[in-house]
Each structure stands twice: as structure tokens, then as C-alpha cells.
Chains A and B, each alone.
Chain A
């Protein structure tokens, strides 16, 4: 029983992380219809940025967080402006290939700058775990979960309660009509990509210190994020959030009670099953792309 409770606690901790990774990608995926392979690299970028601020410049981790998120916002806007804007009318696969090219360049630039050896960042949180009955978790991971939920809530409010969010939703539903109604679609795209990127960078900034930072940390993050987005349905923030927790639960229970070798297969098996039963994702609204 105590093992089960620990698995549930792990699920919550891991699920928050996955959800944070998923919502950034689902925004970009849903609104822009771009298979964003640089998502994992922005995650890595956020982590290295925190390393730079904390370990090289010597500032506090809590201060480094907003700076890294802002840097992700800026980098996302630059990528959108330089790479995606000229490709606006291209096929999904052509755009995707540009993003893969960007991913290869970014990943190897990181290695060129920082070297392949993993880095770690110290945080102000105690190293002894927080123990509640049979369950034990690290303070840092609880903080990460809280921040992730905060960022998810902020994104949700941004999409559903603000003017920008309304324009984003309009663009998602029908780009041409939105444009006719006076929405500046180009600006919406840039904003969407920048916000999605900053969420990825936030994920890296939070998790870099929890894990270790290396040029390849983004590979697995991308793969998980793709899975979550499909589970939740493209462009669906709530879906991606729940998708993150479902994936984490499947992995935890899969590794705990089935076989750890197939832990990472769980997510993909769920995806395949979901797509067969309900091809638009578990929580999809009516919209469906292509």
C-alpha cells in the first residue's frame, strides 16, 4: 500500500512537469499547425540559461527563473520571425523539416558552447526530503509542481480571459475569418510561438536543477510532450494538463507493476489506443486538424 501511495505521489510530481511541457507544445501545435521540433531545445535552453545565471553569474535560483522564462519568450519570437514566418504557406512537413534543422543546429551549438559534460545547478531548497507518512518527496520537486500548476493556470487565464487569448482562439478556429475580423494573424502567431517557447524554457529552468543539464536532455522531453499533446487533443490546454498526469500515471504504474523495460512504451501504447478509439484525443473539442 505504501508503495502504491508513493507511486501516486510520484505521479503528481511528474505529471505537473509533463503538463507544463505539453501545454507549450499544444498551443503551437493547435494554433499554428507546426510540429515544433525545437520545443525540446527551448527546454534545454531554459535549463542552460538558469545554469548560466546561477552557476556562472552567481545569482539566486529564484531570480534566475523569471529571467530564463523571459529569455525563452524572446528566443521563441526570434525563431518564429526568422524561420516560421517565411514558411507560413508551406506544407506541414516542409515546415517541420525546417524545425528539425533548427533542432540539430541548436542542440549541437549547446554542445559546442557548454561541452557534453552534464551540469548541475544548486537551489535554495533543502536536500532532505519532505516526508508525509509513507510518502517521501523532495522539496524542490514540490516547488516545481507548484510553479508548473501556477504557469498552467496563468496560461489558461491568458487564453480564456484576455483579448490576446480571444484572438488566439479565433485564429485557432478559423484563421481566415479571424483575419477578416481584424485580428493581426502574424502577430498572433509570433505571440503564440513565443508563449509556447517560454513555457518550454520554464520547464527546463525548473527541471534543470532537479535533474542534470546536458545537451541531449531535450530529446526525451520532446517525445513526452508530443505524446501528451496527442492525448489531450491539439490546442487544448486542459487536455494537455490532464494528458500530462495520465501519462505520468501510466508510466509510474507500468514501471511499478508491469515492467520497467516497457515504462517508456506505456505513453506510446496509450497514444495508439487513444487514436484508434477517439482519433481527436481524449479531451478534444470539435476542432480537428487535417
Chain B
């Protein structure tokens, strides 16, 4: 029964535009979907390797900027008299390049930052995101800096010679996000259920043991970082072509927080966790907006976050799993150990 849940959910989500015509709610679905994909990618790092990246928004933003710039074109003078000129390309290429480029950045950051763990890793990732933001802000010639990249073309599907279809409307974008989300889910599922995923989990539970049985720690962590960053970049690209304007505000720390909240409240290290967390924290702002004053909306948001963690410290999905199958031992989680990740 349980293995049909994802398929049922996808079928249900696919039917949404058929019975929901409210564009505002559909807009909430699309932006929530984009951030849920980013949260799924964060979960790969946080949930399966135990490394908390608080700079995940950097990959999201890099994907968005690369994709937007690929489709808009640019003319940059790298040094005296040497120009790099790029003519606009179709958005599909932007999407692919954004994903690849974010993945490359994930490789570099992974290589460098996995030399540290725990709190140090948290700070080095925050620093990375901040540096990327400052580059986006100050390299005005390329990114237009704070003047924002505007008139970003909407997503276009298709290949040269076969014709293109532009997704202006909500429904097209909705299905696009859904399809990318499903692909990301499947990629992550296959990865974590392969021997690579098992190695990652072994690593998270006991790094020194994993090393002693011959697991190449850095290699697996870097692999996770690359896939994670690439998926975050893909979601950033979706964001750029849906919102159609980006500026350095895309690196807002709040966006990283949103992703982390989605992962942890949903249940880190579970495939469904980010989806459940994404749905909840996508819906909360929409719901509280209708009755609370602006500051109170935030206070409720923060309070709700704390309450969920207090009541369900491992997140909603593991709690539900325990509820429905109290006797089944869960292979992917072990009992919490005091400061397990800290020692």
C-alpha cells in the first residue's frame, strides 16, 4: 500500500489545475513547489550525510543567475580589451547550464568545505553564500548588480528544429515544476537507495567506523554535494523564469531558512520529508496572511516552527511512519544519540 502513496500523490497533484482555477493559490503551489525541490536537494546533504549547509541558497541563486544570463545574453569585459560576449540562447539551455554550473560549484564547495564538520561546516557554507551574494551585487557589468536582471524570458520547452513552446501561464509552469520535482525525487530516491546512499548513511551515523571499513568519506560527500547543488540550481532556474526578475535578494538568508525548515519539520533523511514540510510551510504564509497582522504572521511562523520541533523532533514523516507501522523497525533511522553529530 505504502509504495503507491507517491504515485497517488503525483496523480493528485497532476489533477490540481483541473479543479483549482484560483491563480493566487496556483501561484502559491508553484513557488512552494520550487522551494520544495530546493529543500529535497538540501535533504540529500542534511538528511543523508548529516552535513548542514546553511548556504544552500547560493546554489539556488547560481542556478537562477546562470540560467537567466544564458537566456538574456551578456557582454563582459574580463580584462582590458578582452570581451566575453554571449548572445541569448533558448531557455532550455539556460536550465541545463544552470543545473550543470550549480553542480560544478557544488563540487568545488564540497571539495573545500568537507574538510570541516559540524558547526564549522555551517559557518563556511553561510560564508560561501554571502560571498556569492556580494559578487552578484558588485559585478554589475555581468549581473546588473542591484539593478536586477529584468525581462527574463519565460520557460520555453523544445529543441532546435522541433519548435518551441513558451510557458507564459500558470498551468504550464505548474506542470513544469511538478515534472522537475518528480525527476528530482526519483534521482534522489535512486541515489540514496543505491550502495552510494548506504555509504552516506553509514557515514552520517558513525564517520570513524565508516572510514575504518574503507568508505572514501570525501568522495561520497562531494558526490552528494554535486547532486544536491545541481538540483538546487535547477530549482533556481525554474524560479528565475517563473518570477522573471532576479536580483541579489535571491540570496536572502531567509530562503535558506525556508529550505531547512521544510526539511527538518518534514523529517530529514526521509524521502517524503521535504515534500510534507514544503507543503506545510508553503501553506502557512498563505493561511496566516488572511487573518494576522504582518508582524504577528512572522511570530506565528516562528512559533509554529519551534512547536513542531518540540513535539516531533524528528519531523512529521518519521512520526507518521511510527504511527502507521509501530512494530516495523525503520532501517534508515537509528535512535538518537546524545550529540551524535558533535563528537
Binding site for B on A (CB under 8 A): 29, 33, 35, 83, 86-94, 96-98, 100-105, 107-109, 111-112, 175, 223, 226-227, 229-230, 234, 259, 261-262, 264-265, 267-269, 271-272, 275-276, 279-280, 289-290
Contact = CB atoms under 8 A, between A and B. Distances in A.
Interface size class of chain B, counting residues whose CB lies under 8 Å from the partner chain: 35 or more
Contacts of A109: 295, 299
B164 interface: no
Interface of B: 46, 50, 52, 112-113, 115-120, 122-124, 126-128, 130-131, 134-135, 137-138, 257, 260-261, 264, 268, 293, 295-296, 298-299, 301-303, 305-306, 309-310, 313, 336-343
A105 B130 contact: no
A272 B126 CA distance: 10
A236 to B, nearest CB: 13
Contacts of B126: 223, 226
15 contacts: A88-B338, A91-B336, A97-B305, A100-B261, A101-B309, A105-B299, A108-B299, A230-B127, A268-B127, A268-B131, A269-B131, A275-B120, A276-B115, A279-B115, A289-B117
The 7 closest A-B pairs by CB, nearest first: A290-B118, A104-B302, A101-B305, A261-B138, A105-B302, A268-B127, A101-B306
A290 B119 CA distance: 8
Contact of B120 (A88, A108, A262, A289): A289
Main secondary structure of the interface of B (DSSP, over half): helix
B261 A97 contact: yes
Contacts of B46: 93
B268 to A, nearest CB: 8
Contacts of A290: 117-120, 341-343
B138 A98 contact: no
A96 B301 contact: no
Contacts of B112: 272, 276
B121 to A, nearest CB: 8
Given A261-B137, A268-B131, A289 B342 contact: yes
B306 A289 contact: no
Given A90-B313, A90-B336, A268-B131, A98 B295 contact: no
Contacts of B257: 100
Given A92-B52, A272-B131, A276-B115, A97 B301 contact: no
